[in-house]
Amino acid sequence: GAVVSQHPSRVICKSGTSVKIECRSLDFQATTMFWYRQFPKQSLMLMATSNEGSKATYEQGVEKDKFLINHASLTLSTLTVTSAHPEDSSFYICSADGTGGGNEQFFGPGTRLTVL
Amino acid sequence: GENVEQHPSTLSVQEGDSAVIKCTYSDSASNYFPWYKQELGKRPQLIIDIRSNVGEKKDQRIAVTLNKTAKHFSLHITETQPEDSAVYFCAPLPPSGGSYIPTFGRGTSLIVHP
């Protein structure tokens, strides 16, 4: 149980385009999902907390107009990188809050974004 | 928010040796202490966790010890193998039921030499 999928796994796009990444909880309902960005040889940095039916909460320094988050259902959250630039190239990972009574995180497999 | 520090940042050992990674946190309300292993280009994988009501937990070659008074917990890997080579992260969390912000340590790159 507690499987999280993420699509696409890899995307290459031109500078200025927008890219949408989907995060789905396959066998449980996730009220809360988290979006992280990870640069090479660095830790996971939380970008935003996505709550079903409400606006996402962004961490300091993360532009909410650039990284649009939608959590329209209890099993799906999307992250759209708008007007992507090469510096947005990174590994984006989502996680969902577990339902086991604790705060276990269940991670998606990640999306490697490369902006040319 | 939680201030998490992880040491060392890099750990190089010979196959068969033991490895210990320490995580220090600041929020005394934290009660869930997981360790994740992340291989290159893959998602973090939970390898062991502990809750504040116990001081130690072991799973074969992997163990976690917790010192709530000193606010640190450690990952212990015995009889290391080359496939243990990865980056390890800690991410202490508060009790469920309220809002929280997951904070990861900076990671420890473990290299196990054959």
Banded model confidence at residue A102, pLDDT cuts 50, 70, 90: low
Q: What is the pLDDT of residues B70-100, one digit of tens each?
A: 999 999 999 999 999 999 999 998 876 667 7
At A46 the three-state DSSP class reads: strand
Banded model confidence at residue A28, pLDDT cuts 50, 70, 90: confident
B92 has a chain A CB within 8 A of its CB: no
Rounded CA gap, A16 and A81, in Å? 10
Mean pLDDT across chain A:
91
pLDDT of B97: 62
B41 contacts A112? CB cut-off 8 A: yes
Q: Which residues pair with B75 in a beta bridge?
A: B21, B64
Comparing CB atoms, the residue among A42, A45, A108 nearest residue B43 is: A108
Residue appearing with tokens 């990952």: B75
A105 has a chain B CB within 8 A of its CB: yes
Q: How far is CA B43 from CA A36, A56, A87, A107, B30, in A?
A: 11, 22, 21, 6, 24
Comparing CB atoms, the residue among A44, A49, A103 nearest residue B44 is: A44
Contacts of A35 (CB under 8 A, 6+ apart): A23, A46, A47, A48, A50, A67, A69, A77, A79, A92, A93, A94
Give the gap in angstroms from C-alpha A115 to the nearest C-alpha of chain B.
Answer: 17
**What are residue A29's phi and psi, to 5 degrees?**
-95, 130
Q: How far is CA A101 from CA A108, B65, B73, B104, in A?
A: 20, 21, 21, 20
Q: Which amino acid is at A33?
A: M
Banded model confidence at residue B6, pLDDT cuts 50, 70, 90: very high
Banded model confidence at residue A95, pLDDT cuts 50, 70, 90: very high
Rounded CA gap, A70 and A55, in Å? 8
Interface test with A, best of B25, B31, B32, B43 (most A CBs within 10 A): B43
What the block records as the tokens of B45 is 């994988």
Return the number of other C-beta atoms located less than 10 Å from residue B99's C-beta: 9
pLDDT of A31: 82
pLDDT of B70: 95
B5 neighbors B63 (Cβ within 8 angstroms): no
B32 contacts A102? CB cut-off 8 A: yes
Cβ pairs A/B, distance under 8 A: 55
Q: Which of A:10-49 have CB within 8 Å of B?
A: 34, 41-46, 49
Q: Which amino acid is at A6?
A: Q
Rounded CA gap, A63 and B73, in Å? 34
Nearest-Cα residue of chain B relative to residue A91: B41
At B21 the three-state DSSP class reads: strand
Of chain B, the percentage scoring pLDDT greater than 70 comes to 96
Give the gap in angstroms from C-alpha B97 to the nearest C-alpha of chain A.
Answer: 8
